[in-house]
Amino acid sequence: MSEIEKVKCLIIGSGPAGYTAAIYAARANMAPVMYQGMQPGGQLTTTNEVENFPGYPEGVTGPEMMVQLQAQAERFKTDVRTGWVSKVDFSGAIHKVWVDDTKEIHADTVIIATGASAKYLGLESEQHYLKIGGGVSACAVCDGFFYRGHETIIVGAGDSACEEAHYLSKLAKKVTMLVRKDEFRASKIMAERVKKTPNIDILFNTDTLEVLGDGQGVTGARVKNSVTGEEQVISATGFFVAIGHKPNTDIFKDWLELDETGYIINKPGSTKTNREGVFVCGDAADHVYRQAITAAGTGCMAALDAERYLAAKEG
Ligand code: NDP
């Protein structure tokens, strides 16, 4: 068996929340160790251009921004490692964490920054254009701006889909909303707002069969009415998916309080969880804002909370 490693501050996850926590923890002499997880850099690595993160007047690509955040964290000696945290035990004062089911770490403080993953339809064509940054997106607030004056499609019927459809309608020439049932799941007020918006066209009972494109970018979608069986092609250069998110918190469910969707519940106004010395930041605890800048903000808070916790413990 490999030796148990002891660390002061372990950060799980490497999106903007994790890296910001690392920068603050490293500068506070906490010698943070970060495990990057399955998707180093997090959700931003599937985003094209980030234009709304303050400090980048010309914008920056998601992957580029994550490389810079990593460099900044490493400049202050954060130990950034590849690896996936597969199990935790938060029962005692020392927090036990296993990496890749083998390596065991004992941490005084743990900062969880494992984020959330947007759900996608899972169509091959959708994944193709998502991977090449060719017009598939799960975030209208991030990417809607690139479709000014274009035709767009959005899939979903919850509050997020309605909110994002409304956001898109102010930028795009037309928004076609694809709802798989004959009704919205969204609150009445959100659904009404969408229904009243003239450039939002709602197609109920409609499933996406294929995202269409020219190999480089999206040109539309082939859809089918599940009641009549009728198929049609809708033209669009942007295909937005707003069918929910899944927080990456499964390994914590035996130890931390989660809400019904799996988001970690933090103590209001802080990043503290129900376990002393375990802190959460970013989308793992946030189903409302979900922005890089808000994740970074809570990453900073988590490092400060962890530092204060250690200072109080060490007397
Ligand atoms: P939800 O889980 O509420 O809704 C997901 C939607 O996606 C449902 O309408 C569902 O359809 C649809 N869907 C799921 N899978 C598919 C699929 N394969 N194909 C087509 N459609 C699919 O997620 P949201 O992200 O909208 O909201 C999450 C939470 O955040 C909710 O509690 C919501 O109220 C809240 N929220 C609140 C906001 C606000 O108040 N301003 C803004 C945004 C979110 P179906 O209905 O058929 O199951």
Domain boundaries, the chain: 5-117+246-314, 120-241
Report the CATH architecture of 5-117+246-314.
3-Layer(bba) Sandwich (3.50)
Contact 292, 276 (CB under 8 A): no
Atom of ligand 1 nearest to the CA of 287: 30
- Spatial CA neighbour of 37 closest among 118, 119, 114, 131: 114
Phi and psi of 34, rounded to 5°? Answer: -115, 135
Q: Say what the pTM is.
A: 0.81
Mean pLDDT of 158-162: 92
Mean pLDDT of 253-266: 97
The reply to whether 5-117+246-314 and 120-241 are identical in fold is yes
Q: Which pLDDT belongs to residue 15?
A: 95
What percent of the chain is modeled with pLDDT above 70? Answer: 98
Do β-strands 174-178 and 151-155 pair in parallel, antiparallel, or remain unpaired? parallel
CB of 163 closer than 6 angstroms to any ligand 1 atom: yes
CB of 244 closer than 6 angstroms to any ligand 1 atom: yes
- Spatial CA neighbour of 4 closest among 83, 111, 96: 96
CB of 222 closer than 6 angstroms to any ligand 1 atom: no
Which residue out of 108, 143, 283, 286 is catalytically annotated? Answer: 143
Contact 217, 194 (CB under 8 A): no
CB of 142 closer than 6 angstroms to any ligand 1 atom: no
Could you tell me the two tokens for 196? 């009243």
CB of 246 closer than 6 angstroms to any ligand 1 atom: no
Query: Look-up: residue for tokens 């994002």?
Result: 164
Question: Is residue 97's pLDDT more than 60?
Answer: yes
pLDDT tens-digit readout, 6-56: 999 999 999 999 999 999 999 999 999 999 998 888 888 766 678 889 999
Distance CA 230, CA 141 (A): 32
Q: Which pLDDT belongs to residue 3?
A: 87
Distance 213 CA to ligand 1 centre (A): 26
Q: Which pLDDT belongs to residue 49?
A: 74
CB of 162 closer than 6 angstroms to any ligand 1 atom: no
Mean pLDDT of 162-191: 96
Catalytic, 139? Answer yes
Distance 178 CA to ligand 1 centre (A): 13
Contact 101, 95 (CB under 8 A): no
Tell me the H-state helices in 106-187: 124-131, 140-143, 159-169
Question: Is residue 189's pLDDT more than 70?
Answer: yes
Catalytic, 281? Answer no
106 versus 42: the higher-pLDDT residue is 106
In the chain, the amino acid numbered 164 is E
Q: Which pLDDT belongs to residue 47?
A: 67
Tell me the H-state helices in 28-158: 62-75, 124-131, 140-143
Q: Which pLDDT belongs to residue 46?
A: 66
Question: Is residue 154's pLDDT more than 90?
Answer: yes
What percent of the chain is modeled with pLDDT above 90? Answer: 87
How would residue 315 be classed by pLDDT, with cut points 50, 70 and 90?
A: confident
In the chain, the amino acid numbered 73 is A
Query: Look-up: residue for tokens 């375990």?
Result: 278
Q: Which pLDDT belongs to residue 62?
A: 86
Q: Which pLDDT belongs to residue 227?
A: 98
Region of 63 on the Ramachandran plot (φ > 0 left; ψ -120 to 50 alpha; else beta): alpha
Distance 245 CA to ligand 1 centre (A): 8
- Dmax over CA atoms of the chain, in Å, equals 71
Could you tell me the two tokens for 308? 């204060």
Question: Is residue 302's pLDDT more than 90?
Answer: yes
Report the CATH architecture of 120-241.
3-Layer(bba) Sandwich (3.50)
Q: Which pLDDT belongs to residue 5?
A: 97
The number of CA neighbours under 13 Å toward the Cβ of 122 is 1
Distance CA 153, CA 161 (A): 11
Distance CA 91, CA 78 (A): 26
Which residue out of 142, 162, 281, 305 is catalytically annotated? Answer: 142
Mean pLDDT of 196-205: 98
**79-88, 133-142, 223-232: least confident range:** 133-142
Q: How far is CA 13 from CA 10, 151, 210, 261, in A?
A: 10, 36, 33, 19
Catalytic, 143? Answer yes
Q: Which pLDDT belongs to residue 205?
A: 98
pLDDT tens-digit readout, 77-94: 999 999 999 999 999 989
Question: Is residue 225's pLDDT more than 70?
Answer: yes
How would residue 138 be classed by pLDDT, with cut points 50, 70 and 90?
A: very high
